[in-house]
């Protein structure tokens, strides 16, 4: 069931707790640990699932054992992010590893992405743009709420519609980033 709930400050606390565990387990393998996705945007309604991005130098098998030790399971069939239709980047720019930690009260999706890849930037820029543009964040929340209402059990429909909406936001975010010379701030964790 797809359920969108109002924002809660508990999301940032849950992220901070998990980021501390990830930092201790991954050490130097994690170049950055960031709270991403809708739960990282104050005031934004979201699914009650924390999304975390771990940025790595490159994909290495060394990362799996510490994550499994923390209760994460790999989703080996997911090897890349949704690619916006107007991009011509090599497939490597969209590669990722995805892990889930379903054993908690509030599940976690852990996205492992390589440093300086388009998809690593996308997640951080998307978050920062929504944090500074409440109108865009509000419209995005409405899209997700309507999708959950009209397609409460159809995950394919949810993402088939939500992903292009995210791409539109990302286009605006890229233009904003160029205007202000945006760079990702310090790692969250």
Asked if residue 1 belongs to a domain, the reply is no
Burial of 166: CB neighbours in 10 Å, binned 0-12, 13-18, 19+: middle
In the chain, the N- to C-terminal Cα span, in Å, equals: 30
Per-residue tokens: 75: 């989703």
Asked if residue 168 belongs to a domain, the reply is yes
DSSP track, 55-100: EESS--GGGHHHHHHTT-EE-TT--B----TT----GGGGB-EEEE
CA-derived radius of gyration, the chain = 16
Asked if residue 116 belongs to a domain, the reply is yes
CATH of the domain at 105: 3.30.460.10
Is the whole model's pTM more than 0.85, yes or no?
yes
Per-residue tokens: 10: 């508990």
Strand order in the sheet with 97-101: 32-36, 50-56, 108-114, 97-101, 73-74
Asked if residue 119 belongs to a domain, the reply is yes
Asked if residue 88 belongs to a domain, the reply is yes
- Side-chain-side CA neighbours of residue 40 (13 Å): 25
Asked if residue 66 belongs to a domain, the reply is yes
The residue range of the domain holding 118 is 10-180
**CB 34, CB 52: distance < 8 Å:** yes
Asked if residue 185 belongs to a domain, the reply is no
Instruction: Count up the domains in the chain and report the number.
Output: 1
Please give the C-alpha separations between residue 100 and each of 18, 58, 69, 116, 164, in angstroms, as whole numbers: 12, 20, 13, 23, 24
Asked if residue 49 belongs to a domain, the reply is yes
pLDDT tens for the chain, 189 residues: list them: 999 999 999 999 999 999 999 999 999 999 999 999 999 999 999 999 999 999 999 988 889 999 999 999 999 999 999 999 889 999 999 999 999 998 888 999 999 999 999 999 999 999 999 999 999 999 999 999 999 999 999 999 999 999 999 999 999 999 999 999 999 999 987
**CB 1, CB 152: distance < 8 Å:** yes
């Amino acid at each position: 069931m797809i359920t969108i709930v109002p924002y809660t400050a508990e999301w940032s606390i849950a992220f901070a707790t998990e980021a501390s565990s990830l930092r201790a387990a991954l050490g130097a393998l994690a170049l950055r640990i960031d709270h991403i996705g809708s739960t990282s945007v104050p005031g934004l309604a979201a699914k009650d699932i924390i999304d975390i991005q771990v940025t790595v130098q490159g994909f290495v098998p060394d990362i799996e054992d510490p994550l499994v030790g923390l209760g994460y399971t790999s989703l080996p069939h997911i090897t890349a992010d949704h690619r916006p239709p107007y991009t011509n980047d090599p497939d490597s720019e969209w590669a990722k590893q995805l892990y889930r930690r379903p054993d908690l009260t509030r599940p976690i999706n852990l996205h492992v992405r390589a440093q300086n890849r388009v998809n690593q930037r996308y997640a951080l820029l998307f978050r920062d743009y929504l944090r500074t543009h409440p109108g865009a964040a509000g419209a995005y929340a409405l899209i997700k709420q309507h999708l959950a209402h009209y397609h409460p059990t159809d995950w394919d429909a949810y993402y088939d519609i939500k992903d292009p909406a995210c791409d539109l936001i990302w286009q605006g975010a890229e233009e904003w980033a160029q205007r202000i010379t945006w760079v990702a701030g310090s790692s969250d964790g």
